[in-house]
Amino acid sequence: YLLQQIAKLRPQGGIIVEEAPSSRVPMHEYLPILDRDGFYTCASGGLGHGLPAAIGVALGRPGEKVIALLGDGSSMYAIQGLWSAAQLKLPITFVIVKNGRYEALVSFGRHFGLQRTVGTDLPDIDFCGLARAQGIAAIRIDRPDQLDEALLTAFAAGAGARGGRPGGLAAGGAERGAAAAPVAAPAAVGLGAAGGRPPPAVPQRAAVFVRRTVGPPPAAHAPPPAASCPRRGNGAWRVRLPGSPI
């Protein structure tokens, strides 16, 4: 549901920078890449590249909106990059998908027959707190009906040329929580796991947190769009534009 709504609400021409391994399969089903040079990821290795890569893409393509789609484990390799994004006033929305562990490593462990993968849990990380401490406001979302407003706020923040301040951190989490994103004025809303009041409109700088377990509202899922990133023979993915022969 999170990926579907990102696809629906993202600004036209928004650039996706991705490092969310556990969400990659639904990403290819529900978040089509429609623009040439509109998607960046790492084919192999380079753990933690996603957050700083989003900053690099924003610096290299000034005036264009960047959406960083990150796992919670992936983001923790270089979480201090949020400070750089805030200081440089880059138009980036960081979406942190939180499942409370290094799920990619847990999956590798299952592949090799490990009953337990030690050191892969990431409990009790306050991504809203980390974002605020580095100059980025944050909102935590625990219910699907809060997601659209939070994403729209984050996407609108910092839109346009460099100097408008970073966008917002939006996150779709798995079992234990959710997301965060940079925006302009230090005004953020933190929403606890138990729910509470829905987030008000945050004028400039904002971040978002979501839970995967809450599920979508009734009849929210749309049919998956046509695949835009077919798999190559070596297991890597490539972006293919609609109607393109490559």
User: Is 194 strand, coil or helix?
Assistant: coil
pTM (whole model) above 0.85: no
pLDDT tens, position by position, for the chain (246 residues)? 999 999 999 999 999 999 998 898 899 999 999 999 999 998 877 789 999 999 999 999 999 999 999 999 999 999 999 999 999 999 999 999 988 988 888 888 888 899 888 888 999 899 999 999 999 978 888 889 999 999 999 998 766 545 555 655 544 443 333 344 333 322 222 222 222 333 333 333 334 444 443 444 444 444 444 444 444 444 444 444 445 444
User: Is 39 strand, coil or helix?
Assistant: strand
User: Is 160 strand, coil or helix?
Assistant: coil
Would you say 166 and 158 are in contact if contact means Cβ atoms under 8 Å apart? yes
